[in-house]
Structure 1
Amino acid sequence: VHLLYRFEEQQILKFEVYDVDVNDPSLDKQDFLGYCETTLGQLVSAGKLVLPLTGMPINKGEMIVRVEELASSKDEVTLQFSGRGLDRKDWFGRWIPCLFGHSSDPFLELSKVGEDGEYRLVHRTEVIKWSLNPDWLSFTLPVRSLCGGDMERAIKISCYDWNRSGNHSLIGELFVTLRELSEAPHTSTVYHLINPDKQKKKPSYTNSGEIRLMKYELRKVYSFLDYIIGGTQLNCTIAIDFTGSNGDPTSPDSLHFISSLAPNQYEKALTAVGEIIQDYDSDKLFPVLGFGARLPPDGRVSHEFFVNMRTDTPYCSGIPGVLEAYKSCIRQIQLFGPTNFAPVINHVAKFAESYPDGSQYFILLIITDGVITDMVQTKQGKELT
């Protein structure tokens, strides 16, 4: 089954299993064995899940579900070319030929071929003025843009002489694949530019100059899925704004007003984001911090306290545990201020510094309503992370 993966959404999957005995497309005529449900996020995080089939009175076994990212090139290629002995195009129109001789202003265009056989421009190099032996700067392109990820797909390299009018003159062109470029011994590899019009008109015509490959580097670009499937763990810390600008929590107008009839804005945000993030967290334990409140028993102002009101650990079990701790906390503290982000940013940054190998990825979700009052310190904290 092919699915479009969206990290920002909770994509629920339901699998139904049937025993097909009748050659009929209607599932109503087949024996239903059971079903299982999961989310695409849980599947991506685990790589493989063994899910028990439910929905029938007796145990009907398990379903094994695996996930893998479809092969699509995320690589980038760096290329550099030079030209030698290019055709002269600028015979007239220059008032300084005595200084530079008859020459050209060459540049390259790289085009990829589409499914319809038409070539579409992908990259244009800079113009090298008054030169028949140009050395162009290196450039980097996504392999997907250059050849659709197909190393065997033709790439057209066209060399033009630049003209101020915009009517550039073709010096010559060549066709090559990324595979051929990758196997070339670089500076010793020579490609001949062919001008189709000259080739038709002159039987003695050979080429319009040479293009040499000076540099070829292929670099793999890893996707988010690559890291998750490779074992990287996501760690999400939640920071909640308990400053006075949210309004008196006993008032229905407050963003922190707790009601049994409907969740407030903070509860909605915690649920919406938390349900997505928790699929990638193996232990489902979330550190939850608060800032901008007066704490019991002495009323001291804190910009980094544990919302579960414990002193030994900030962790809450799952999103239900986060919501429970939040509701309990709002009844014990006094909203105050100011809105300082730096303490909670630095708190998470210290943990992130302990894992320079990339095995752990730290996310800080700050839910706030106000304007930051420690912008300078916050920027410094962001740079640290």
Structure 2
Amino acid sequence: MRGPLVCEKYPNKYRGTITIVGREILTEKNRKITLRVQARNLALKNWIVKPDVFFELSRKDGGNKVIEDILVYKSERRNTKNVSWDSFVLLERDFWQNDGKNPDDYIRFACFHHKQNGKHKLLGESTLRVIDFLENEGRKQRFPLGGLSELLVSCEFEKTFLEYIDGGLEVQLNIAIDFTASNRDKNYDLHKNGPDETCYEYAIRVVGNILERYDSDKQISVYGFGGEFNNSGFVSHEFALTGNNEKLKSTGFQR
């Protein structure tokens, strides 16, 4: 939907237009992507003019049968022909039109020289398929902008926890339990040994049983702090709940 911007004081004066675009959000494509964009040999024909360049990333939207560029990101301005802009983060769904499966979805990178009157000069542009761009994740991709000018773009998906595990990351589960007086009152003790499971025991069992699956050796270290251990007569802030400082680890969770 597009309409004119109107000033009540000067209703007949052109103030530009506003465009509102709506689309269904792709909840399954919410991975973060970090992008780094560089440009080389930007063509500024007037050598007297100081470079003042920026780029725009837009999505080709043809949902209403008319192909339009929907702005996704606009960079900061830089005063050089060979520029490295700040990295930025987008969601994967920002690149796609609707269901995220159309092989003909396109994005457009365009470089501009900034003009004070808002009529920015296009220095070059490159249009590419989304699917091709994302499949080259992790690599520096080169896109021609005309002449000797080119754009260098790299994108990297934010890795999930399971992807790190699948890549060989080893996890070691360690648990520390607070024995200070701050977590008890006269009527209730979180560390009391009784017939019923305490809140501490419940939390450790429920969360620990999940995290144990990702532990590389299934051996779990359990410490206590802020308590007097084995009637030692002094408060310790690091003691093994196995009762043996030489053998810190135990297997599984049971009462």
Q: TM-score, normalised by structure 2?
A: 0.62
With over 3 angstroms needed to count, the CA separation of the structure-2 counterparts of 1:118 and 1:311, relative to structure 1, is same
Runs of 5+ consecutive residues of structure 2 not aligned to the other structure? 1-27
Residue number among 109, 130, 148 corresponding to 1:157 in the alignment = 109
Give the length in aligned residue pairs. Answer: 212
1:297, CA displacement in angstroms?
A: 4.7
Query: Is the contact between residue 125 and residue 145 of structure 2 (CA under 8 Å) also seen in structure 1?
Result: yes
1:295, CA displacement in angstroms?
A: 2.3
Query: Is the contact between residue 285 and residue 315 of structure 1 (CA under 8 Å) also seen in structure 2?
Result: yes
| Structure showing greater relative contact order (alpha-carbon pairs closer than 8 Å, 6 or more residues apart) | 2
Q: Does 1:174 align with 2:136?
A: no
What are the within-5 Å matches in structure 2 for residues 284-363 of structure 1?
Answer: 284-320=218-254, 324=255
The amino acid that maps onto 2:71 is: L
- Partner of 1:84, secondary structure, is coil
**Whole-angstrom CA distance in 1 between matches of 2:180 and 2:113:** 65
The amino acid that maps onto 1:255 is: L
Query: Is the contact between residue 115 and residue 121 of structure 2 (CA under 8 Å) also seen in structure 1?
Result: no
Tell me the residue number matched to 1:124: 74
RMSD between aligned residues: 4.1
**Whole-angstrom CA distance in 1 between matches of 2:210 and 2:57:** 42
Tell me the residue number matched to 2:59: 112
Point out the structure with the larger strand share. 2
Query: Is the contact between residue 77 and residue 142 of structure 1 (CA under 8 Å) also seen in structure 2?
Result: yes
Q: Does 1:191 align with 2:128?
A: no
Residue number among 39, 47, 55 corresponding to 1:81 in the alignment = 39
What are the within-5 Å matches in structure 2 for residues 38-77 of structure 1?
Answer: 76-77=34-35
With over 3 angstroms needed to count, the CA separation of the structure-2 counterparts of 1:106 and 1:256, relative to structure 1, is same
Query: Is the contact between residue 161 and residue 168 of structure 1 (CA under 8 Å) also seen in structure 2?
Result: no
- Partner of 2:200, secondary structure, is helix
- Please say which structure displays the higher CA radius of gyration: 1
Query: Is the contact between residue 51 and residue 81 of structure 2 (CA under 8 Å) also seen in structure 1?
Result: no
**Whole-angstrom CA distance in 2 between matches of 1:265 and 1:142:** 40
**Percent identity of paired positions between Structure 1 and Structure 2:** 25
Residue number among 219, 222, 226 corresponding to 2:163 in the alignment = 226
- Partner of 1:269, secondary structure, is helix
Runs of 5+ consecutive residues of structure 1 not aligned to the other structure? 1-69, 89-99, 193-209, 325-385
Tell me the residue number matched to 1:350: none
Residue number among 180, 191, 210 corresponding to 1:256 in the alignment = 191
- Partner of 1:228, secondary structure, is helix
Output one character per residue of 1:99-126: Cα deviation in whole Å (capped at 9) or x when no partner: x967885432121235735433232223
Query: Is the contact between residue 114 and residue 121 of structure 2 (CA under 8 Å) also seen in structure 1?
Result: no
Q: TM-score, normalised by structure 1?
A: 0.44
1:253, CA displacement in angstroms?
A: 2.4
Tell me the residue number matched to 2:21: none
